[in-house]
Chain A
Amino acid sequence: MAESEPPRKKPRPIVRIFVFLISHSLLVSVICCTAGVLALLLLPVLAKNTYISENALVPGSASPMLSSHDVSGADSFVKEIISSNTKHTNAGIEIPRLIAHYILDLGAEVSYHKFHPELKKFHPLHFFSSPDPGIIHENYSCSLLGVNTVGIIRAPRGDGKEAIVLVTPYNSTKIDLGEALSLGIAYSIFSLLTRVTWLAKDIIWLAADSRYGEHTSVASWLRDYHTPFFGGMGKLNGETCHESSTLFESKTRPSMGTEISDVFRRAGTMAAALVINVADRNEEVDKDTLSIYAEASNGQMPNLDLINVVNYLAVHGQGLLVKVEKVWSLLDSKWVKTLGELFESLGKVARSLNPQWKFGISVAEYIEGTATLASSLYYQALGVPTGPHGAFRNYQVDAITLQISPKVSLNNKVRQNEFLQRGGRLVEGVIRSVNNLLEKFHQSFFLYLLTSPSKFVSVGVYMIAFALLVAPLPLVAASLYSDANKLDFTLEKDKHTSCTASVDEPGITFRSWKWLHAAKTVLIVHLWGVVVTLLPYFICQIPNCTPTTSIFLWVLLSVFSLLILHFTLGSPFSIVNVSQTRKEDWLLLKSVMISASFIGLCLMSVINFATAEIGALLIVPMCLMATPLKLEIKARTLRAFTRAACNMILLFNGFPLAAFVVIKGTFGGFGSISVGDFWNWVESLWAWNSATYLYICMIHLPCWSLCVHILLHSC
């Protein structure tokens, strides 16, 4: 024991530093938390300009070759698609056939890929793994059949080891002009690339049938690309789906001696994928705009170089206005503006001191950066891909979605050709750059947050904020533990002053193991978290459930299971402890809870950093502040009351449902929110196998309930 040691032995300096920090844990945690939040707010200021890291990319070094000939071909292609859409009743089959014939006329290989849309289900056991391809073929009805059209250009002198994928999702039953134009852009590039001699990688054009969702079609094609898929759904729908399959019976075109078949065609390993999307104009801008979507599942991002190339070519090559997603409501929020002003003036001061200090950005820039950063953080934290490109990331393929929208309406025929040419040249440039690559994308960052299309914050910088937020947790846990021990020690001393000193020894051993009880409580609550995680799987089985009833059912069942757990596992010890409820109990409990949440946050930061960051923002103050209400009431000081009020607010905001409603409300107005939305949101999370769902149910929720427990602690 430390006390029994001779006092001359001094601890080592590093230990002393820790002891110092622990003894001042309150100050340290306040400083660290404020610094963490500040560092987060400073991120737009600290963002660096992007640069193209891979030398082999050389974007824009070659002048675009896409000619008006290709564009006019694409134009007639678009016209035919639109007319076929209005003309034919079974457009679901007509458009793939049309695309296939056009591809065949270009001299490229073509095949159909039929797929059954996979219904999004909650698979509790395959959370991080995609379902086994062997067992997915269950009995589907014939009506649920999508048809992707895949065209492949083999690089004339290439070795066929790598491929670049172009994806154009379109709704085959009811195609709109934007989708037709995106097909047109892809067609114009495809017709160019069949003629060029510089190709080193094969080109795959996937015209994805997005009848059942854009992501589904792309994901099922990717899955079949990587499994021994035999094509044609042979025995699966041989008899039952006769009518639909006969429509695709091999139609031999005499022209090339090849036929459009169900044979699944493959090219090599995918180097990159571009999803092209044309959206109609939605706001007043004076330029054609390009929106880049990059977030894939669980906050994975494509290599920054890919975004850089697109951004470079769009801005410098085609003069497009490049955007990334933003939180619009932040743009005109007051506090961001004042913060921006503050940082700007700080920067000015710094520059006046030393002109080399390039610190500080203008207010407008700061606001833009914050809004973009917030959305970047949010979408990464959500863990749900922002487009069909998300499917590629599961196969380690860098992919982004390019959404191009014209400055005037798409229906303007005169502008249409120019628009096609511009979009085509952009994609051509990107393909040419990627084609130049000898190695796969690896030079630039994979972990970053965007603050504008040309600015980014890398891991090294945004980690600081998280580290600062999380740093006080172990310190506070240690200090609470030592406080509890000390308190206990003094109590026991008071109690045992009369008794003989010999009793001290077992008392100490008992005391030092007392945290086990608290640990058990925490463990039970976390177990409850696991139960809560699995509950939706059963709720989903109930037919005809509206989201609102589902959520109420979920809450009800969760509370019920908590009670059961409490009475089955928690009771024996609580009975023992009821007799001697002591003040230090809550201290120990808090200490263990804080350690648990620290471990949880650190684990989560490895899986999805943005989730951990946002989670830390919510959890850390809540955990650190939690004190029993009774104590505050007893104290009857202003400080105690404010602390209690703070606690209440934090706890309210910490409840996932409440947090969701509050966040939704602040960013989108409170009018349109219902509790059912939360269910839908959670459903989307598990449907996409997002680790955020696990985090919320297994770390955040137990932590919150433990905080509630502490708040209501009777001491």
Chain B
Amino acid sequence: MFGLLKGLGITLKNMAKPKVTYKYPHEPLKMPDRFRGIQHFDPEKCIVCNQCARICPTDCISLTGKKHPDPGKKGKIIDTYDINFEICILCDLCTEVCPTEAIIMTNNFELATYSRDQLFKNIDWLHENDQNIRQDNVSMKPKPGGSKA
């Protein structure tokens, strides 16, 4: 008998507790910092070592380099860099293997589109995807006001 009243008491108290639901499509969801979201790519840092393309388990990364425009410098600079998000599994291996952190993870995850073609992201799109970058990598980026740490 008292169990019934106790149950009613619990539910009544629950009404005043904070809500656990998100207003998701109206307010963006905050993901934990180690979330594996859509990659951000920084062409300035890329040394065209091809390691990301080689480690990629689904072969979704394709890149090409070109000779450095300054003839006095050795090495290559990046020309095209594409990730096919039809098959990318967001496994984080490309960002782990990158020696210069040219490709890093963000917390963005909204990839839904009406056409499959739109899932093929190029270098410019990946570069502009610069919001919600993983905090570990943000510290590596040059700070606007110079290094304070």
A binds B: no
Interface residues of A (CB under 8 A from B): none
B-side residues, CB < 8 A to A, are: none
